[in-house]
Structure 1
Amino acid sequence: MIDNTENYLDGDVLTIVSRYEEMIKANELYYFDVHEFENIIDHYIEKNKFSDAVKVTTIAIKQHPSAISIQIKKAQVLINRGQHLEALAILNKVQGIESSNKEIWLLKGNIYNLMGKHKSAKKQFDEALTKDHENREDLLFRIAMAFEQLNQFDLAVGYLEEALRLNEEDSEVLFELGYCYEKLGMDEKSIETYSKFLDINPFSDNAWYNIGIVYNRMATFPKAIEAYEFALAVNPQHSKAYFNLANALANSGKFEEAIKHYIEYLEFEDDHASTYSYIGECFEKLNEYDQALNYYETAIKSNEELPDPWFGMGLILMYQDKIDESLVYLEKANKLDSDNPDYWFALASAYSRSESPQKAVRAFREAIDLDPYDPTFSITLAEFYHRNEKVETAIDVLLESCGYNPESPELFNNLAAYYMLSGDLNATEHYIKKSTDIDAENLKEIFLQFPELEENLQFKKIIAAYSA
């Protein structure tokens, strides 16, 4: 909400507040002028003592019934208490008397904003802008913040952009505009704006941290790492920067460095379970399975409801051919998060190795239904059917997947291989052609997956014809 108060906690105001509280305690009535009442009200608003603030406005209105500013203050207090319609009634009344007062329009804008009527709020705010031409930049910023606080970033941006046109070096505007662009997914604009802010304030750890988030989202990990390192150089206590730096390093394949920063993060925050799980994943990527299992187990002890470490444990045990043990952990992960296609896929892979074909097929199907745009799930299910001598069913699975992945050469290669195994040369040639039209290099992978076709002269002749 737009804040209409300033910090009034100076000595004079505290003296006035003490006198007011003395009056209440003595159950008497002292005189205060309008300005003094305004200061007392603002004091209680600053302290979030809204009931006391309402009481002050009631007394103030009795002493100064024609004071519009007291009526406005009362509306402001009511807004803070969530009494939006009562506040709106007061503002509509005083607006008929003093329509040129921008605070009335601003407060009405706040009310509509808080009620979710953002277009109506914008109309009120825009009217407020017509009432004050001298402080336009400040007013634009205040309106933008009102929208930003309610996550209405698209509305906030317009006001911030206008404010920036008035003053291109306003660092507050630059920072908030960069933040709004970030939230709207306008990554290039966000980086450009944050960079302008950093030209003015190079020692802002929050700006370096935020620009790191944008680079990380863009998968520009080296620049993300650099940004997080700058944030930590400015403020070594910026805990989240350690965590995000570790994530960026892990995404760059620098798992040992990532582990170091995850461990540093543990010194700052209480969310240890997730961090232990991330460390376990890094050790898993380094093939240091014993260390990975230790950290996953520690994560589970810290929070048994976190699915990731259960999943990680299950994967490693499956790598180690401990299928029965693996299933315990993978089933638990799946129970904690049944909407994760990767969990279903891993569970299907484990079931397929545990002589549970029906469970395997069901789990593969769940993974495919949750994410039909990942052809790996369908390709693996087709392989499962192939191993069980159900080539026609494997073909049906892949044809279904083609509807979601019409540009996947891997799918077409597999279809070509299965059609070859079923003796359909025309279909084989059709899918080899479709594959090579997208990426001829993928043909090299066919024989790795289907070594039984290496001695098939007809298949090799078709491959040769389209790889020339």
Structure 2
Amino acid sequence: MIDNTENYLDGDVLTIVSRYEEMIKANELYYFDVHEFENIIDHYIEKNKYSDAVKVTTIASKQHPTAISIQIKKAQVLINRGQHLEALAILNKVQGIESSNKEIWLLKGNIYNLMGKHKSAKKQFDEALKKDHENREDLLFRIAMAFEQLNQFDLAIGYLEEALRLNEEDSEVLFELGYCYEKLGLDEKSIKTYSKFLDINPFSDNAWYNIGIVYNRMATFPKAIEAYEFALAVNPQHSKAYFNLANALANSGKFEEAIKLYIEYLEFEDDHASTYSYIGECFEKLNEYDQALNYYETAIKTNEELPDPWFGMGLILMYQDKIDESLVYLEKANKLDSDNPDYWFALASAYSRSETPQKAVRAFREAIDLDPYDPTFSITLAEFYHRNEKVETAIDVLLESCGYNPDSPELLNNLAAYYMLSGDLNATEHYIKKSTDIDAENLNEIFLQFPELEENSQFKKIIAAYSA
């Protein structure tokens, strides 16, 4: 919410507040001028003592019944107490007397904003801007922050961009604009804006950290790593930078370095279970399964409700052909997070190796339903049907997936292979052509998955005709 309190000298205010509290204690009535009452109200607002602030506004209103500023303060207190409609009634009343007062429009904007009526809030804020031409840049920033605090980043951006046009080197505006762009996934704009901020404030660890997040999301891991390293150089106590740097290193395949950073991060934060799980995953990627299992087990002991280490344990046990043990962990992970398609896919893979075909098909289907845009799930289910001599069903699965992934060469190649196995030459050629129109370089890889087709002269002839 836009802050309506003014800066004041703490010493002077405390003297006034002390005199006011003396009056309350003595059950007497002292005189305070309007400005003094405003400072007393602001003091209680700052202390989050809203009941006391309301009491001050009541006394102040009796001493100064025509003071608009006291009524505005009362509305502000009511807003802080969540009494939005009461505050709005007061503001509407005083607005009829002093419509040029921008604070009235701002507070009404705050109320509508807090009530979720963001378009109405914008109208009020825009009216406030019309009332104040001298402090426009500051007012634009305050309005933007009101929207940003309620995650209305798209609305905040308009005000921040206008503020930036008034002062291109306002570092506060640059930082918040970069943040809003980041939150809306406007990565290039976010990086450009954060970079301008860093030109002015190169020692801002938070800006380096935030720009690292954006680079990491863009999978530009070297730049993400560099940004997190700058953040830590500026502030070695920035714990989240250790964690995100470790993630970026892991995403870059630098698992040993990532492990060291995760271990350093353990010294800062209490979120040990997730960190142990990430360390386990790094060891898993290094094929150091014993170490990975140790860390996954430690993560589970730390927090049994975290699904990731259960999933990691299940995967490794499946790699080691310990299918029954694997299922215990994969089923647990799935129970903890039934909306994760990767968990269903791993569970389906384990079921397919445990002589439980119905469970396997159901799990594959769950994975596909959760993420139909990943063709791997459908391709693997089709392979399962193929192994069970159900080629026509495999074709149906892939045709369904084509509706979501029409430009997947691997999917199209698989379809062509299954049509060849079913004896449909026209369909085979049709899908080979569609595949090569997208990517002709890896066409021969189809024989790795379907070695039986290497002896099929008709299929090889079609492949040769469309090979790059």
What TM-score, normalized by structure 2, do the two folds share?
A: 0.98
Quote the offset at 1:422 in angstroms. 2.1
Deviations 1:325-355 (A, max 9, x none): 0000001111111111111111111111111
2-side partners of 1:95 and 1:423: how far apart?
81
1:105/1:124 contact within 8 Å kept: yes
Residues in 2 aligned to 1:113 and 1:275: alpha-carbon distance in whole angstroms: 38
Residue of structure 2 in register with 1:92 after alignment: 92
**CA offsets per residue over residues 71-102 of structure 1, 9 Å max, x none?**
11111111111111111111111111111211
CA distance in 2, matches of 1:162, 1:443: 53
**C-alpha displacement at 1:35, in angstroms?**
1.0
Q: Deviations over 1:360-398 (max 9, x none)?
A: 111111111111111111111111111111222212211
* Counterpart for residue 467 of structure 2: 467
CA contact (8 A) 2:88 2:108 kept: yes
Q: Cα RMSD (Å) of the superposition?
A: 1.2
- Deviation string 1:91-121 (CA, Å, 9 cap, x unpaired) is 1111111112111111111111111111111
**TM-superposed deviation, 1:144:** 0.9
Instruction: List alignment gaps of at least 5 residues for structure 1.
Output: none
CA distance in 2, matches of 1:459, 1:184: 48
1:426 offset after TM fit, Å? 2.3
Q: Do 1:410 and 1:442's aligned partners in 2 also have CA atoms closer than 8 Å?
A: no
Shift of 1:313: 0.3
Compute the displacement of 1:7 (Å): 4.3
Deviation sequence 1:299-323 (CA, Å, 0-9, x none): 1111111111100000000000000
Indicate if the aligned counterparts of 1:208 and 1:227 stay in contact, CA closer than 8 A.
Answer: yes
Residues 225-244 of structure 1: matches in 2 within 5 Å? 225-244=225-244
Q: CA deviation at 1:419?
A: 2.0
Deviation at 1:442?
2.4
Confirm or deny: 8 A CA contact 2:444 2:463 kept in the other structure. no
Written as runs of structure 1 = structure 2, the 5 A alignment for 1:133-282 is 133-282=133-282
Show CA shifts across 1:393-446 (max 9, x none).
212211221222111111222122222222222222222222222211221211
Shift of 1:69: 1.0
Contact kept in structure 2, 1:7 and 1:46, CA below 8 Å: no
Q: After superposition, what is the alpha-carbon deviation per residue over 1:212-233, rounded to whole angstroms, capped at 9, x for unaligned?
A: 1111111111111111111111
Aligned-partner Cα distance in 1 for 2:163–2:428? 63
Deviation at 1:10, TM superposition (A): 1.5
Answer with 415-424 or 379-388: which moved more: 415-424
Match of 1:24 in 2: 24
Q: Secondary structure at the match of 1:441?
A: coil
**What is the CA–CA distance in structure 2 between the aligned matches of 1:318 and 1:432, rounded to whole Å?**
34
Matched residue count: 468
Partner Cα distance (1:439, 1:414) in 2? 14
Q: How far apart, in 1, do the equivalents of 2:171 and 2:266 lie? A: 33
Deviation of the 1:9 alpha carbon: 5.5
CA contact (8 A) 1:2 1:143 kept: yes
Shift in Å, 1:234: 0.5
Contact 1:256 1:282 in 2 (8 A): yes
CA distance in 2 between partners of 1:123 and 1:466 (Å)? 61
The alpha carbon displacement at 1:153 in A equals: 1.0
Distance 1:98 1:359 in 2: 71
Runs of 4 or more above 6 Å deviation = none
**Aligned equivalents of 2:426 and 2:124: distance in 1?**
69
Q: Work out whether residues 277 and 308 of structure 1, in 8 Å CA contact, stay in contact via their aligned partners in 2.
A: yes
CA contact (8 A) 1:344 1:363 kept: yes
Cα distance in 1 for partners of 2:394, 2:127 equals 65
The range that moved more, 51-60 or 414-423, is 414-423
Q: Distance in 1 between matches of 2:434 and 2:137?
A: 59
| 203-212 or 428-437, larger mean C-alpha shift | 428-437
- The answer (yes or no) to whether the contact 2:231–2:238 under 8 Å persists in 1 is yes
- Classify the secondary structure of the residue corresponding to 1:440: coil
Q: Distance in 2 between matches of 1:31 and 1:75?
A: 22
Q: Which sits farther off after the overlay, 394-403 or 218-227?
A: 394-403
Cα distance in structure 1, aligned partners of 2:437 and 2:40: 77
1:7-54: per-residue Cα shift (whole Å, max 9, x none)?
446211111111111111111111111111111111000000000000
Aligned residues of 2:379 and 2:414 also touching (Cα < 8 A): yes
Partner-residue secondary structure (3-state), 1:141: helix
SS in 2 for 1:454: helix
Compute the displacement of 1:162 (Å).
Answer: 1.1
Q: Deviations over 1:188-228 (max 9, x none)?
A: 11111111111111000111111111111111111111111
Secondary structure of the structure 1 residue equivalent to 2:455: coil
CA distance, structure 2, for counterparts of residue 359 and residue 9 of structure 1? 71
Contact 2:157 2:177 in 1 (8 A): yes
* Gap runs ≥5 in structure 2: none
Q: Distance in 1 between matches of 2:266 and 2:394?
A: 47
Contact 1:103 1:128 in 2 (8 A): yes
More off after superposition, 295-304 vs 93-102? 93-102
Q: Structure 2 CA distance, aligned partners of 1:356 and 1:226? A: 48
Q: Which moved more, 1:245-254 or 1:408-417?
A: 408-417
Task: Tell whether the 8 Å contact from 2:281 to 2:292 is kept in structure 1 after alignment.
Answer: yes
CA distance in 2, matches of 1:432, 1:140: 58
CA distance in 1, matches of 2:390, 2:368: 19
Distance 1:223 1:259 in 2: 19
User: What is the aligned partner in structure 2 of residue 365 from structure 1?
Assistant: 365
Q: Give yes or no for contact 1:109–1:122 (8 Å, CA) kept in 2.
A: yes
**Residues 259-308 of structure 1, C-alpha deviations (whole Å, 9 max, x = no match):** 11111111111111111111111111111101110111111111111111
User: Which stretch of the first structure deviates more once superposed, 307-316 or 95-104?
Assistant: 95-104
| Contact 1:246–1:261, Cα closer than 8 Å, also in 2 | yes
1:144-189 alpha-carbon deviations (Å, 9 max, x no partner): 1111111111111111111111111111111111111111211111
Q: Structure 1 residues 124 and 63 mapped into 2: Cα distance closer, same or farther (>3 Å)?
A: same
Identity of aligned residues (%): 97
Given that 1:8 and 1:42 are in contact with CA atoms closer than 8 Å, whether structure 2 keeps it comes out as no
Matches within 5 A, 1:61-460: 61-460=61-460
Q: Deviation string for 1:113-155 (max 9, x for gaps)?
A: 1111111111111111122111111111111111111111111
Please report the TM-score for the alignment, with normalisation by the length of structure 1. Answer: 0.98
